[in-house]
Amino acid sequence: MFRLSRLLRFAAPEGVKNRLLLTLSSPSESIYLQQPIDSVTVPGIEGAFTLTNNHSQTVSMLGPGVVTVRVSPNDKKDYFLSDGFVFFSAPSDESGCCAAEVVGVEVVPTDALDKDKAAQVMADLLAAPKDTDWDKTKALLGQTLCANIIKAASV
């Protein structure tokens, strides 16, 4: 039963051929669930990269940045991802559709980001005392995340 459910999980929707099937989700919601798209650009740890149908199989850790989903040549949507993973797999049926799963801790549309609030949080982090190793780590991680939010909100 497990193998059958696993095969059906990556099966292409009826009538879809040679497209990339995207699942974009966080622990609280699924933004796309096996949506046929042209491509997705993700913020890899060592730089952004684009996945299209028939890309080589990939598992990669993602850093904070913008995920760009191209549903069609004229339809592009941007989302901010705090961090996560991408899993890319080959077609599991005769449709020729590959599957990309982008899973993030937080995934929000870039137009929902508040640049001023992120700048305020960053200022608070920089002004806070850094007496312990935890304080220093929290400030460094928070500063990196806020800087990426400000960058994504500015585009």
My answer on whether 126 and 87 are in the same domain is: no
pLDDT band, residue 14 (cuts 50/70/90)? low
Category of 15 on φ-ψ map: left (φ > 0), alpha (ψ -120 to 50) or beta: left
My answer on whether 75 and 38 are in the same domain is: yes
Per-residue model confidence (pLDDT) at position 11: 52
Average pLDDT for residues 138-155, to the nearest whole number?
Answer: 90
Distance between CA atoms of 136 and 132, rounded to whole angstroms? 6
Per-residue model confidence (pLDDT) at position 97: 87
My answer on whether 15 and 81 are in the same domain is: yes
CATH number of residue 23's parent domain = 2.60.15.10
Average pLDDT for residues 48-65, to the nearest whole number?
Answer: 92
- Closest by alpha carbon to 145, among 123, 120, 118? 118
Mean pLDDT value across the chain: 88
My answer on whether 33 and 102 are in the same domain is: yes
My answer on whether 99 and 143 are in the same domain is: no
Range of the domain at 128: 113-154
My answer on whether 95 and 128 are in the same domain is: no
